[in-house]
Amino acid sequence: MNIHEYQAKALLKSCGMPIPQGHVAHTPDEAKDIARTLPGDVFVVKAQIHAGGRGAGHYVGEPSTGGVRLAHSASEVEDVASEMFDRVLVTRQTGPKGRLVRKLYVEAGCRFERELYLSLLIDREKRCLTIVASRDGGMDIEEVAEKTPERVLTTLIDPALGFQEWQARELAVRLALHGKLIREFVQVVQSAYDAFMAYDASLIEINPLVVTHDGALLALDAKMSFDESAFFRHRTLEDLRDENEEDPREQEAARYGLSYIGLDGTIGCMVNGAGLAMATMDIINAEGEEPANFLDVGGGASREKVAAAFRILLGDPKVEGVLINIFGGIMRCDVIADAVIAASFDVGLKVPLVVRLAGTNVAEGLEKLKNSGLKLTVADDLGDAARKIVAAVREGRNV
């Protein structure tokens, strides 16, 4: 789960991270009132959406405007906020559809001399938490890594020992920090590590981490993501969820405990088991088409759960065909058949459907599908299923 910048900063501040003063606004008038409480005569107004690149983004119909704006008075903050609220902001991460701006973060501006990059994330290959830092703050770290990989510094945190201060000191020296800034950098990394461990985060990113004009470190932007599997330990984190920023299909799937991720392809997939789901997506791609989703209904899904999954697939306007690939172990193929039949008649099956069943009660499941009256195709194996659904989708496009 992702959260907004202002929420991430509040969590990080509670762990000792130095951040500028600021508050979230829901109206232009509220933005003006917030600015009046902040120190200084420069203010930063930031669109709050779950996407990076806001400063380089633009509002639909206004390519010269961005999602991060400066203002020099409370009244100017109100004017800027009026131009940003309820507008669709397009960035490199939102795609052309963009995101509607419903909240703004008004923050005290600051003068700074340098921009650094800092993040903590899980290195799944090394199976440990990793600190990533760079002198090139404010830039896309992927671009920096591609063009100048020597400028991206990494330090692995031993899970048995935890974070050690010498690791941050070593990074600080390699980032060309000196004197008290080394001590401050140690505290910044310690704060990020404490927050990561306290909230079971999957990512903490501070970009940029700036050296201010008066020689201090300050986190100007912050991003946090969380491992939802640990939410049973952090019930309050669910209150930070902004459903307006989430795919409605993924919200519906979450209500039924389904593992669903929406993609950009046209063939909907319903599979039980993450490995089988990945293999299904790969073989669709190998046949020259793209999957519309990752959807794992799990090994012991109920009829209601499977029916909900099928309704989500059929409700996606991009889906031109559906492939169901089930290996019945704990899950019974006849239960799958019942759910598919019920959901098809409930929603209305208007796209080609290919079903591949194997395992427990496969004969009963296939017999139910055969006698259902639905227009569907049964496949013998995964390769056969992929070829049939791709052929059906392409034939539908030519009609």
Question: Is 84 part of any known ligand binding site?
Answer: no
Kindly name the residue from 78, 184, 205, 289 that is annotated as catalytic: 205
Q: Could you confirm whether 289 is annotated as catalytic?
A: no
Question: Is 272 part of any known ligand binding site?
Answer: yes
Number of alpha carbons in the 13 Å side-chain half-sphere of residue 125: 0
Question: Is 15 part of any known ligand binding site?
Answer: no
Q: Is residue 185 a contact partner of residue 171, using CB atoms and an 8 Å limit?
A: yes
Report DSSP letters for 75-102, one per residue. HHHHHHHHHHTT-EEE-TTT-TT-EE--
Number of alpha carbons in the 13 Å side-chain half-sphere of residue 156: 9
Kindly name the residue from 6, 59, 117, 199 that is annotated as catalytic: 117
Question: Is 330 part of any known ligand binding site?
Answer: yes
Question: Is 207 part of any known ligand binding site?
Answer: yes
Question: Which 3 state secondary structure label does DSSP give 225?
Answer: strand
Question: Is 151 part of any known ligand binding site?
Answer: no
Q: Could you confirm whether 205 is annotated as catalytic?
A: yes
Question: Is 147 part of any known ligand binding site?
Answer: no
Question: Is 380 part of any known ligand binding site?
Answer: no
Measured from the Cβ of residue 216, the count of other Cβ atoms closer than 10 Å reads 14
Q: Is residue 45 a contact partner of residue 81, using CB atoms and an 8 Å limit?
A: yes
Question: Is 224 part of any known ligand binding site?
Answer: no
Question: Which 3 state secondary structure label does DSSP give 176?
Answer: coil
Q: Tell me how far apart the alpha carbons of residues 222 and 208 are, in angstroms, rounded to a whole number.
A: 8
Question: Which 3 state secondary structure label does DSSP give 267?
Answer: strand
Measured from the Cβ of residue 398, the count of other Cβ atoms closer than 10 Å reads 5
Question: Is 138 part of any known ligand binding site?
Answer: no
Question: Is 389 part of any known ligand binding site?
Answer: no
Catalytic residues: 117, 205
Query: Annotated binding site, which residues?
Result: 46, 53-55, 107, 110, 115, 207, 221, 272, 329-331
Query: Annotated binding site for substrate, which residues?
Result: 272, 329-331
Query: Annotated binding site for ATP, which residues?
Result: 46, 53-55, 107, 110, 115
